[in-house]
C-alpha cells in the first residue's frame, strides 16, 4: 500500500507562536497562509501542518499521489484502492471515499487509541 507523503497535522492554539517554535527546529513555511489559519512547515522530508481552529485533535495525514514536496508521483495507490484494501481487513471508517468518482478524495479512520488518520488525495 503506497500512502504517499506523510505529515502530522497539529491543532494549534496560536499559529504564530507555533510557526516560530518550529522554525527553531529548522522548519520553514512551505505552503498555506496564516490569513487562512494554516501553514505547512517543512524540514527536508519532514512535514508538519499547523492548523488553528480547524479541528480539535491532531491528525496523522497521508497524501497518496504526492511526495513530500507536493509533487505528483508517477505511480501511486488511489485512495479508493487503499479504502478497498482497508475494508478487506475490516477497518472501520469515519469518512469513506465515493468509489464512483476519480481524482481528489479522502478517507478517515481512527486507530485503536483514538488518533485520526486522514488519507487525503489531491490528484
What residue ranges do the domains of the chain occupy? 5-121
Reported as a single tens digit per residue, the pLDDT across 95-115 is: 999 999 999 999 999 999 999
Span 81-85, average pLDDT: 98
At residue 59, the 3 state secondary structure works out as: strand
State the pLDDT at residue 104: 98
23-56 per-position pLDDT tens digit:
999 999 999 999 999 999 999 999 999 999 999 9
**Span 5-121: which CATH code?**
3.10.180.10
Per-residue pLDDT, 87: 98
**108-116: long-range pairs with CB below 8 Å, 24+:** 114/57, 115/57, 115/58, 115/59, 115/60, 116/57, 116/58, 116/59, 116/60
pLDDT, residue 19, reads: 98
Q: What is the pLDDT of residues 50-82, one digit of tens each?
A: 999 999 999 999 999 999 999 999 999 999 999
Amino acid at each position: 500500500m503506497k500512502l504517499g507523503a506523510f505529515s502530522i497535522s497539529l491543532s494549534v492554539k496560536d499559529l504564530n507562536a507555533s510557526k516560530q517554535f518550529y522554525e527553531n527546529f529548522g522548519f520553514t513555511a512551505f505552503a498555506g497562509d496564516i490569513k487562512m489559519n494554516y501553514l505547512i512547515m517543512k524540514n527536508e522530508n519532514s512535514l508538519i501542518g499547523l492548523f488553528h481552529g480547524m479541528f480539535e485533535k491532531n491528525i496523522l495525514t497521508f497524501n497518496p499521489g504526492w511526495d513530500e514536496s507536493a509533487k505528483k508521483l508517477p505511480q501511486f495507490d488511489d485512495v479508493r484502492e487503499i479504502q478497498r484494501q482497508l475494508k478487506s481487513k475490516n477497518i472501520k471508517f469515519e469518512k469513506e471515499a465515493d468509489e464512483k468518482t476519480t481524482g481528489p478524495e479522502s478517507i478517515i479512520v481512527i486507530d485503536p487509541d483514538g488518533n485520526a488518520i486522514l488519507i487525503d488525495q489531491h490528484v
